[in-house]
Amino acid sequence: MRDKHRPIPPRTVFSDPVHFFAFGFGSGLGPKAPGTFGSAAAILPFLWMQTLSPTAYLAVLAVGTVFGIWVCGESARRLGVHDHSGIVWDEFVGIWITLFLAPAGWLWIVIGFALFRVFDVLKPWPIRWLDRHVEGGLGIMLDDVLAGVFAWLVLQALVAGLP
């Protein structure tokens, strides 16, 4: 396997639809903290998604997750790297999970963003275990999906005013 942090030429990402989506429309190309940039870029589609009904939002999440399993796995296969740091579609879905049913307003988006990044970076159990033991596109997606669920639980507790 190749280095998961090696730079990928922008032409590779922008000329191949698989890499284009897996790299979060190019947001994963940053040399530092591509996961943070990918998470931030995911806010733009979220601004549209928050106008959807909860059922439609969940449908977008389901499609985004299934698509992500395929596109992240295929991009990784083509790059010869299990989970290249520039592959950020998983961060997109993780943020979207975190912000599901969040109250309107930038404050909640920022809190959700911060919570997701904390869970994604720290990877508390079982997230770290899954990250290390599940391969392919499912492995790339699963740790961020679970980080999104953990962040969603905390965000919803804050919304409800729970300690």
Q: Does any domain span residue 2? A: no
pLDDT tens sequence for the chain (163 residues): 466 767 787 888 999 999 999 999 999 998 889 999 999 999 999 999 999 999 999 999 999 999 999 999 999 999 988 888 999 999 999 999 999 999 999 999 999 999 999 999 999 999 889 888 899 999 999 999 999 999 999 999 999 996 6
- Comparing CA positions, the residue from 30, 17, 35 lying closest to residue 78 is 17
- pTM comes to 0.93
Q: Does any domain span residue 5? A: no
Q: Does any domain span residue 136? A: yes
**Range list of H helices, 23-135:** 34-41, 43-49, 54-79, 89-98, 106-122, 127-133
Number of domain units in the chain:
1
Peptide bond into 103 cis (omega under 30): no
Q: Does any domain span residue 26? A: yes
Q: Does any domain span residue 4? A: no
CB count in 10 Å sphere of residue 59: 12
pLDDT tens digits for range 32-52: 899 999 999 999 999 999 999
Domain that holds residue 132: 10-160
Q: Does any domain span residue 63? A: yes
pLDDT tens digits for range 50-67: 999 999 999 999 999 999
